[in-house]
Amino acid sequence: MLIQTRTRATLREADVTPEALYLDRRRFIGASAATLAGGLGLNGAAAATEASGKDYADGEAPNSFEQITQYNNFYEFGTDKGDPARHAHLLQTRPWTIKVDGECEAGGEFDLDALIKTSELEDRIYRLRCVEAWSMVIPWRGVPLATVLKRFKPTSKAKYVAFETLVDPKQMPGQKRRALPWPYREGLRMDEAMHPLTLLATGLYGKELPKQNGAPVRLIVPWKYGFKSIKSIVRIRFVEKQPYTTWNDLQAREYGFYANVNPTVDHPRWSQARERRIGELFKRKTLMFNGYADEVASLYEGMNLRKHF
Ligand code: MTE
């Protein structure tokens, strides 16, 4: 984990430097000079510049493009945080077809570019909280999942929606090992899927999604642990019963189906009360529903969140 082993000063610089500035500085003064300048704390001006997009992270500074694209979980490319950045270039993201089936009237096979038009994309800055107790702030570009799902005309039997990632060990060399049972699968209750905060992301920092972040299209559910935000989606299925989901099926005691961020329900092997924001030295308090309680708590009214964690 490269990011964890750097000095505090370097981390701070990288933490607050938006991609454009970061790349410009690299281009003009070179990598070693930039690292030196960062180490000396000479980049204060960069800290004031913000990523563009509607702020859903209470003004918290977005992580740098470098952090967002070098520290990843994407087991299809390996289990180390640096593996996705190293190997994701093998993934072919065009043409990209998504199969839609199950309880809907207008399913079929859809070309991604026909399904999601660039004109409907919006930029939103969200916190992302991993179940491993680290977090980032990421400026996504995408479309509300509800906008897309409505086009398939789900029937009244559609109580859940299930998603699958591509399986192709040639493009995703991590799949040559059975680190997880492939395909990676996730699912949401229909009301969670239709919630206005739930996003289908095709980009970040204002441009196409880097492959290690789940190109060409991934889910973002900002009030849930990151493992719900499935990457490189090739199938969407409307179903009546709670679908099979990878981590929950693997270890239900550790990973719930709901996986709502909850500082009061610890993972059996570690506390969820606090989290390490990538690039920061001291841990922060984890927020209920990752800070989105006002928007989403009503979805779970009357549910025992210790049982349905
Ligand atoms: N999707 C697939 N297909 N495979 C994965 O291994 N990891 C999940 C999620 N989506 C994962 C996935 C986990 S644990 C997290 S925290 C987020 O992706 C990480 O997203 P990021 O790498 O863009 O930060």
Ligand 1 atom nearest to 138, measured from its CA: 24
Q: Determine whether the shortest distance from the Cβ of 235 to ligand 1 is under 6 A.
A: no
Q: Distance, CA 168 to ligand 1 centroid (Å)?
A: 17
Strand-strand pairing, 185-189 and 160-165: antiparallel
Q: What is the pLDDT of residue 42?
A: 36
The span from the CA of 71 to the CA of 57, in Å, is 20
4 CA to centre of ligand 1 in angstroms: 19
Helix, coil or strand: residue 80: coil
pTM (2 d.p.): 0.86
Structure tokens at 1: 């984990």
Ligand 1 centroid to 2 CA: how many Å?
18
State which amino acid sits at residue 224. K
- Which residue's CA is the nearest one to ligand 1's atom 4? 74
What pLDDT sits at residue 31? 34
Q: What is the pLDDT along the chain (309 residues), one digit of tens a residue?
A: 222 333 333 333 334 344 444 343 333 333 333 333 333 333 333 333 458 999 999 999 999 999 999 999 999 999 999 999 999 999 999 999 999 999 999 999 999 999 999 999 999 999 999 999 999 999 999 999 999 999 999 999 999 999 999 999 999 999 999 999 999 999 999 999 999 999 999 999 999 999 999 999 999 999 999 999 999 999 999 999 999 999 999 999 999 999 999 999 999 999 999 999 999 999 999 999 999 999 999 999 999 999 999
Identify the residue whose C-alpha is closest to ligand 1 atom 8: 227
CA of residue 69 to ligand 1 center, whole Å: 12
**Identity of residue 293:** A
Q: Which atom in ligand 1 lies closest to the alpha carbon of residue 213? A: 23
Q: Is 56 helix (H, G, I), strand (E, B) or coil?
A: coil
Cβ(226) – ligand 1 distance below 6 Å = yes
Helix (H/G/I), strand (E/B), else coil: 221? coil
Tell me if 245 CB under 6 Å of ligand 1. no
175 lines ligand 1 (CB under 6 A): no
Ligand 1 centroid to Cα of residue 304, in Å, is 27
Closest CA to 190 of 234, 229, 152, 159: 159
Atom of ligand 1 nearest to the CA of 136: 24
DSSP per-residue letters across 85-129:
HHHGGG---SS-EEEEEESBSS-EEEEHHHHS-GGG-EEEEEEEE
Residue whose CA is at the smallest distance from ligand 1 atom 9: 227
Ligand 1 geometric centre to CA of 226 (Å) = 6
The response to whether residue 227 sits with its C-beta less than 6 Å from ligand 1 reads yes
The two tokens of residue 173 are: 């060399």
202 phi and psi, to 5 degrees? Answer: -120, 5
The alpha carbon of 231 and the centre of ligand 1 are apart by a number of angstroms equal to: 6
Q: Confirm or reject: Cβ of 73 under 6 Å from ligand 1.
A: yes
Q: For residue 17, what pLDDT is reported? A: 44
pLDDT score of 51: 87
Supply the pLDDT for residue 13: 37
Residue with token string 């916190």: 127
Residue 40 token pair: 């000396």
Q: Are 172 and 76 in contact (CB under 8 A)?
A: yes
Interhelix angle for 8-16 vs 31-39, to 10°? 110
Task: Provide the pairing of β-strand 274-277 with 134-144.
Answer: parallel
C-alpha Rg value of the chain to the nearest Å = 19
Q: Is 290 near ligand 1, meaning CB less than 6 Å away?
A: no
Identify which of 74, 165, 186, 225 to mutate to test ligand 1's pocket (most ligand atoms within 8 A of the CB).
Answer: 74
